[in-house]
Chains A and B, each alone.
Chain A
């Protein structure tokens, strides 16, 4: 009896607290209706240095040398099999890298949820060191590991396993290895919070009801982790589509990704119109992938 009264008291107290919170929040909103002014300066900065330049690029992509409207650059892109191959390769690389990151990231994130706090924070340090290390430094590390007189070839030839050095970079193999290494921390950091929130009793229950380990994993654990898989995969895939540094340094000259196409067209060929058009195509692809995956997977916030 007493307990019930205390409980009711607590409930009504909570309600009262909620009401005051609502009230203060409303009053707060009304009072601070000038808060939007705080946004003026950052919005102005964004407008001047992001949107005006972007609009210029859009305009540049649809005007010819004489200044009149043309879609020639876009037609050139979509009518040439070379450029369509660049798009296909970009998607292929982003897809393979996403898959590799998922395959490598999942066991690590899973292991982190299954060990003591101490070990899991040690693993977190191991994930954070490459995460915070300069992208160029990490790509450089892979160059000295993979090149024909690099570490791997040195070791393999020293052991007498191979006679000729393996071609590990200046091709897509190098790009896969480098990009997977660089994007893997993002996957682990997306998976870990979701996996650590899964109640393992569900899996035990499935096993008690006769499922074997694999089946319990596939039917119970994996579906519960889909949020993390979706968030991590979208993040890695979208980052992968626009990747520039690692493919430029580890990839070959014949298999350029779309970002490299943009850079080469401007820096080497000074073809602003075409380069702008390719940029707008890449922008459209990235935004569509983000939008569609958000809608499909119900992932609201990635970054």
Chain B
């Protein structure tokens, strides 16, 4: 009984996502189910349109730069929180998590105003700043969880053997926390690549990310071209999940969550 219920709920989770894939190969000019025939028309339309491909390239560029900056800031913050000891450290840690806790629409409104005053709305830098702000807490969270499980004597041993602090961190600590850094980077990239709430305020007509184009396409009418890129993204994610299942990312993603939740006991 419990199994039937569980399977039905899992189908509810997975089917709506997977149904996009057959729909994207439909030969119909509208959304029609079941698809009357096979065609690659929406893929041709997507890759034939400069607007769509430009937005894809923009999203990938923004995502990569956001990930790099978010990792740098996030690792600095996590190591700083982990190592230092001063009054108000707890509050500062909570403040670092704020961009993740506050509803994105508020961050969006505030940043929109701020960026408009400084004339950086609609620029590459403006979008990267917004995405980095939202991505850093994910990096801090994953890296901090990994650092707090680390034996401090490893780094001390390296320092006793003559390494300076920086070298000890790079040579000893970093290799140990690397899986957490990797998973934090995944979160950062996914946050940026998917971001729309803040981006719909600050992304302009000239420079639009992929979600911004999709957003505009969905607001007016349901444009079936979106099924093509949606299907590519779903297949990509599914492949990563299946490959990663036997490797690091997957276990990291939910082990980290387990660790975070375990601390609630």
Distance (whole angstroms) from the CB of A32 to the closest CB of chain B: 5
Is B158 an interface residue, CB under 8 A from the partner?
Answer: no
Interface residues of A, dominant DSSP: helix
**Bound CA span A182–B165, Å:** 44
Question: B residues 113-138 with Cβ under 8 Å of A?
Answer: 113-114, 129-130, 132-133, 136-137
Contact A136 B215 (CB under 8 A): yes
A123-150 vs B, Cβ < 8 Å mask (1 yes, 0 no): 1111111101111111111111101011
Is B60 an interface residue, CB under 8 A from the partner?
Answer: no
Contact B261 A127 (CB under 8 A): no
- Out of A41, A267, A290, which one reaches B101, CB within 8 Å? A290
Contact A41 B238 (CB under 8 A): no
Contact A107 B262 (CB under 8 A): no
- Out of B103, B215, B257, which one reaches A286, CB within 8 Å? B103
- B-side interface residues, number (CB < 8 Å): 96
Output the nearest chain B residue to A104 by Cβ-Cβ distance: B9
Contact A137 B20 (CB under 8 A): yes
B1-40 vs A, Cβ < 8 Å mask (1 yes, 0 no): 0110110011011101101100100000011110000000
Residues of A within 8 A of B260 (CB): 301, 303
Output the nearest chain B residue to A115 by Cβ-Cβ distance: B3
Interface residues of B, dominant DSSP: helix
**Bound CA span A299–B262, Å:** 10
Residues of B within 8 A of A125 (CB): 241-242, 245, 250
Beyond the given A49-B111, A134-B211, please list 8 additional residue pairs across the A-B interface where CB-CB is below 8 A: A39-B81, A49-B133, A107-B9, A129-B234, A134-B230, A245-B197, A279-B106, A301-B263
Which B residues lie at the A interface, using CB under 8 A? 2-3, 5-6, 9-10, 12-14, 16-17, 19-20, 23, 30-33, 73-74, 76-77, 79-81, 83-86, 92, 95-107, 109-114, 129-130, 132-133, 136-137, 140-141, 152-153, 156, 165, 190, 193-194, 196-197, 200-201, 211, 214-215, 218-219, 222, 226-227, 230, 233-234, 237-238, 240-242, 245, 250, 253-254, 257-258, 260-265
Which A residues lie at the B interface, using CB under 8 A? 21, 24-25, 28-29, 32-33, 35-39, 41-43, 45-46, 49-50, 52-54, 56-57, 60, 104-105, 107-108, 110-111, 114, 121, 123-130, 132-145, 147, 149-151, 154-155, 181, 184-185, 189-190, 192-194, 227-228, 231, 238, 241-245, 249, 259, 262-263, 266-267, 272, 275-276, 279, 282-283, 286-287, 290, 298-301, 303
